[in-house]
Amino acid sequence: MVKDDTQQAIPPDRIGLILKAACFAADKHRHQRRKDSLKSPYINHPLEVAERIWNTGECHDPAVICAAILHDTVEDTEATFEELEAEFGKTICDLVREVTDDKSLPKARRKELQIEHAAHISPGAKLIKLADKTSNVKDIHQSPPPDWSLTRRKEYLDWTAAVVEQLRGANQAMEEAYFATLAEARLGLKRASEELGS
């Protein structure tokens, strides 16, 4: 058995399930790119979300880690909840369902619902939301979409903050990481705005 840094044995079946989720997500997202200026492979994002939960949040629950890796598969690919449940079971599927937007709704309403629902989702889903928002804010700061104005970037940052405010108490280390990332992104926007005004 492999051991983590606390010397607790990591069961091979847990590693196998996480690797299965990574392969599934990599296949589903294989043709997708992020909106960032570098057009990064999409799979980088769910892997980062899972890594943040594991290392920053110190949550090693395999269901949460798998759901983090899979969190955009139904929302952004042709994958279905039925497929996820068949492959990974009800617990993981339900976690993904909690963090999946209903794409049949207008974008503005979907964003409102994220704020409204954030306080009421499960502890595991809250960790996925926290890590997701942190990853997105980092990307908006470091490599924003080329067609996003400073105003749009600011509005996005403000919206993520509204979502995360509803997640307070989920995980202190992850919340601190989010707010540090947000502060850095806001400072970057302020500097960019000042440069445009000079």
Alpha carbon 78 to chain centroid, angstroms: 19
Give the ranges where the chain is alpha helix by DSSP (H): 12-28, 44-51, 62-70, 73-76, 81-88, 90-98, 107-118, 123-142, 150-165, 172-197
Q: Which residues are catalytic?
A: 75-76
- Asked if 82 and 131 count as a contact pair (C-beta separation under 8 A), the reply is no
Token reading at 134: 């942190």
For residues 115 and 121, give the distance between their C-alpha atoms in angstroms, rounded to a whole number. 11
For residues 42 and 31, give the distance between their C-alpha atoms in angstroms, rounded to a whole number. 8
For residues 150 and 146, give the distance between their C-alpha atoms in angstroms, rounded to a whole number. 11
**Phi, then psi, of 150 in degrees rounded to 5:** -60, -35
